[in-house]
Amino acid sequence: MKSISVVIPSYNEQDNVVLLATKVLEQLEGKYDYELIFVDDGSSDATLENLKKLNQQNNRIHYLSFSRNFGHQKALRCGLAYAKGDAVISMDADMQHPPYMIPELIEKWEEGYDIVYTQRLDTKEVGIFKRTTSSFFYKLTSRLADIEMEEGTADFRLLDRKVANIINRTGESNLFIRGFIVWMGFKKYKIPYKPEERHSGVTKYTFRKMFLFALNGITSFSVKPLYISIVLGLIISLCSFIYALYAIYNYFFKSGVVDGWTSLLVSVLFIGGLQLIILGIIGEYLGKLFMQTKNRPDYIVSESSLKEV
């Protein structure tokens, strides 16, 4: 019998984990050798207690608990590192990724696809804010990051063992998994789905988390943003040159013109702002290098019912 691991990052999902586990088990019980791995991302509610109860009832339901909140992507990566299955499915804990799709994911994998991923169809269940920010994110990353990211393809997918191994062996800290999946290649199959409404609780992806996620995505995959400084530099130089010609013309052919204070101020402020943006971009890359050289772990597991493979 083939074995399937299901990895579920959970952050303050006390009222969702039990229901999700039940629904996932309905799809797998008797058909596959399975394990469920909940990664408790430093929840402050009863998520961990509920997971421990689940583990007592069924020893194939496992939990890994972080020492603090490290973020969804780290939780996902941790789950992948511990998963032993021939295929690993990752999904959210809040029931937005419908468990009834699991057999379909597995079916396509059995047909020979290495990565079976899903694409969220934007329906009214997804809030307008989420829809617009997410669409903007995919467009911007695809443009700036040199990888073709399809809109609505989040972290609900199945990975073959060999794909999971590659991710596990990658030494890159703060790995942007969504982009890495595209970058790796392999035989892929896409299944569209209608997301459900969040079963309970509120979204854990705050605007801040989404912004950092997007920034990491873009700067992880390309150095294109660094070119922005060159292009802007060229444009500004050209403008300054034209302005200089205009000033010289005024100096010679018009008498008593002492304009300039406004334009001086405006250009100083403008160039100052521009320099800050560019410094920020450079700083982001430098920061990445800094974090990588420190070689810190991406996450810290404080308690677990599993051993790392």
Within 113-260, residue ranges assigned H as helices are 128-144, 161-169, 177-184, 207-221, 224-253
Asked whether position 44 contacts ligand UDP by CB under 6 A, the answer is no
Which one of residues 47, 50, 96, 118 is an interface residue with Mg ion (CB under 5 A)? Answer: 96
Q: Are 41 and 69 in contact (CB under 8 A)?
A: yes
Q: Which segments within the chain are labelled E, that is strand?
A: 3-10, 33-40, 61-66, 87-90, 115-120, 157-160, 188-193, 301-304
Q: Which range touches ligand UDP (CB under 6 A), out of 5-13, 102-110, 163-171, 232-240?
A: 5-13
Q: How far is the CB of 93 from ligand UDP (least distance, A)?
A: 3
Q: Could you say which of ligand UDP, Mg ion, none residue 71 binds, taking C-beta under 5 to 8 angstroms by partner kind? A: ligand UDP
Among positions 79-118, residues that touch ligand UDP (CB under 6 A) are 92-94, 96
Q: Could you say which of ligand UDP, Mg ion, none residue 153 binds, taking C-beta under 5 to 8 angstroms by partner kind? A: none
Among positions 126-185, residues that touch ligand UDP (CB under 6 A) are none
DSSP one-letter code for 212:
H
Degrees (nearest 5) of the Cα angle 142, 145, 146? Answer: 75
Site string for Mg ion, 240-259 (x = CB under 5 A): --------------------
Q: Which range touches ligand UDP (CB under 6 A), out of 78-86, 177-185, 200-208, 225-233?
A: 200-208
Q: Which of 161, 158, 142 is nearest to 150 (CA)?
A: 142
Neighbour-count burial of 148, counting CB atoms closer than 10 A to its CB (0-12 exposed, 13-18 middle, 19+ buried): exposed
Beta-strand pair 87-90/3-10: parallel
Give whichever of 108 and 204 is closer to ligand UDP, judged by the CB atom: 204
Name the site residues for ligand UDP (rule: CB under 6 A).
9-11, 13, 41, 69, 71-72, 75, 92-94, 96, 203-205
Name the site residues for Mg ion (rule: CB under 5 A).
92, 94, 96
